[in-house]
Amino acid sequence: MFNNETENSNTLKKVQQLTDTFAKLEGRRPRILVTDMGKPNLEPNTKALAAGYADVGFDVDIAPLFQTPQEIAKQAIENDAHVVCATSFTMENSKDIVQLIETLKNYTRNDILVMVYSNMPTESQQRLLNVGVEAVMHPNTKTSDAATKILAILTN
C-alpha cells in the first residue's frame, strides 16, 4: 500500500509551505488528477495516494474507474490539472500511459505532467521516462518526497 504520510511534522510542514508558495506564485494550488488507469483492484491505494497529496496541500481529483487514456486526458484538461498521477504495475498498463501522453500532446497540453507510481523493472521505467513521463515513483515513496519532486518540476 502507498505510504500515507507518517513522517515527522517538520517534513510535512515543509511540503505544505512549498505548496503554499506555489499557490502564491501561480494564483492557485497545484492540482493533481490521480488515476489507476482502469484497474479496480488498486482503488484503495489510489484513494490513499490522493489523500496524501491533499494532506500536503494539493487540490486533488480522482478519476473514475475504467477510464480510457483519452478520458483521463480530457478530465485533466477540463479540471486544469498540473499533474496526472497514474498507478501502473504492469507493462500492459504502460501502453495506457503512452496513450495518455500522446492524447495530451494532441490537445497541445504538454504542460500537464504525467507521473507514475510503479514497481516495474528499471528498464520498463526508463521506457516510460523516454516517452515523456516526468517521474516514476516506487509505491512506497513518501508523499512528501514525491510532492517535493513534482513541485520542483512545476516551478522550473
pLDDT at 149: 93
> Residue 3 domain-assigned?
no
Q: Facing residues of 32 across strands?
A: 60, 83
For every residue of 30-74, DSSP letters joined together read -EEEEE-TT-GGGHHHHHHHHHHHHHTT-EEEEPPTT--HHHHHH
> Residue 54 domain-assigned?
yes
Q: How many residues does the chain have?
A: 156
In total, how many domains does the chain have?
1
Residues 6+ apart with CB under 8 A from 64: none
Q: What is the pTM of this model?
A: 0.88
> Residue 24 domain-assigned?
no
Task: Report yes or no: 86 and 36 within 8 Å, Cβ to Cβ.
Answer: yes
pLDDT tens, residue order, the chain (156 aa): 334 444 567 788 889 999 999 999 999 999 999 998 755 555 557 888 899 999 999 999 999 888 899 999 999 999 999 999 988 766 666 788 889 999 999 999 999 999 998 888 888 888 889 999 999 998 888 889 999 999 999 988
> Residue 30 domain-assigned?
no
Instruction: Print the domain residue range for 59.
Output: 45-155
Q: Domain holding 130: CATH number?
A: 3.40.50.280
> Residue 73 domain-assigned?
yes
> Residue 71 domain-assigned?
yes
Q: How far apart are CA 57 and CA 17, in angstroms?
A: 9
